[in-house]
Amino acid sequence: MPMPNDRFSVKAQACAMSESSGPMARTEVEAIMRRHNQRLYRVARSVLKNDADAEEVLQEVYLSVFSHWPAEAPNDVSAWLTSVTFRRCIDRVRANVRQSRLGYEVPNGGIAARPHNPESQASRHDVLLRLERAIDGLPVGLRLVFILRDVQGLSGGDTATALCIAEPAVRVRLNRARARLRAALGVTSFSDLSHAFEFGSGRCDRVVAWVTTHTADAQSTPAS
Mean pLDDT comparison of 20-24, 36-40, 191-195, highest-scoring range: 36-40
pLDDT at residue 167 tops 90: yes
Other Cβ atoms within 10 Å of 4 Cβ, number: 12
pLDDT at residue 178 tops 50: yes
For the residues of 92-140, what is the DSSP string, one character each? HHHH-TTHHHHTPPPP---PPPPP-SHHHHHHHHHHHHHHHHHHHTS-H
Query: Whole-model pTM?
Result: 0.65
Q: Which of 168, 148, 146 is nearest to 158 (CA)?
A: 148
pLDDT at residue 221 tops 60: no
pLDDT at residue 138 tops 90: yes
pLDDT at residue 19 tops 50: no
For residue 9, what pLDDT is reported?
A: 40
Average the pLDDT over 185-212 and give the result.
Answer: 76
Where are the domains positioned within the chain?
7-107+116-220
Q: How confident is the model at residue 146 (pLDDT cuts 50, 70, 90)?
A: very high
C-alpha distance from residue 112 to each of 45, 97, 105, 128, 181 (Å): 21, 38, 32, 11, 20
For residue 15, what pLDDT is reported?
A: 46
Q: Which of 37, 73, 76 is nearest to 57 (CA)?
A: 37
C-alpha distance from residue 210 to each of 60, 62, 96, 114, 128 (Å): 10, 10, 23, 32, 29
The model's pLDDT over 46-80, given as tens digits with 9 standing for 90+, comes to: 988 888 889 999 999 998 888 877 777 777 888 88
Comparison of pLDDT for 19 and 181, the residue scoring more:
181
Comparison of pLDDT for 138 and 20, the residue scoring more:
138
pLDDT at residue 207 tops 70: yes
For residue 174, what pLDDT is reported?
A: 94
